[in-house]
Amino acid sequence: MDGDTRAAAEAAVEAELEAMLGGFGYPTIHSAVPGVVAFERLGIGDDHRMDWQAFARAVAERTGMGVLCVACCDWERVGDCDVEATFVAFDLPETPQAYRSDQYGNLITPVQAPSREVNPAP
């Protein structure tokens, strides 16, 4: 995931969280994992309001990339304490296999990238 793609993915995740939570957002956490964007885990009140499947569909639409997994985990931060986080794994060749599987307890059914074809062939 190059810098521009990562920035777009992070912006899409932040914007969708803000939209779904009524104007309150969660900033992303630095991620060196290719194809993965993380943010601090939602508070219990916000978590219960989230429709993770709708979130994944909206992020896929905003980015044009499929979303394989949304899951919670302990996120290791270099030079800082770990944090409870939620991550979004995109369907990119460089996304590690561990983030493509159900290893972390996937909260969604994977969402394919939206078709950008304007005039589909019959």
Stated pTM of the model: 0.86
Check residues 89 and 119 and name the one with the higher pLDDT.
89
- pLDDT band at residue 54, thresholds of 50, 70 and 90? very high
Amino acid symbol at 89: A
Q: For the segment 21-47, what is each residue's pLDDT rounded down to a tens digit?
A: 887 778 888 888 999 999 988 887 777
Tokens of 17: 């969280």
- pLDDT band at residue 71, thresholds of 50, 70 and 90? very high
- pLDDT band at residue 115, thresholds of 50, 70 and 90? confident
Distance CA 54, CA 61 (A): 11
Section 70-96 average pLDDT: 87
Q: Kindly list the structural domains of the chain, giving each domain's residue range(s) and its CATH number in brackets, ordered by start.
A: 3-100 (3.30.980)
Angle between helices 52-63 and 3-20 (to 10 degrees): 140
Section 62-89 average pLDDT: 88
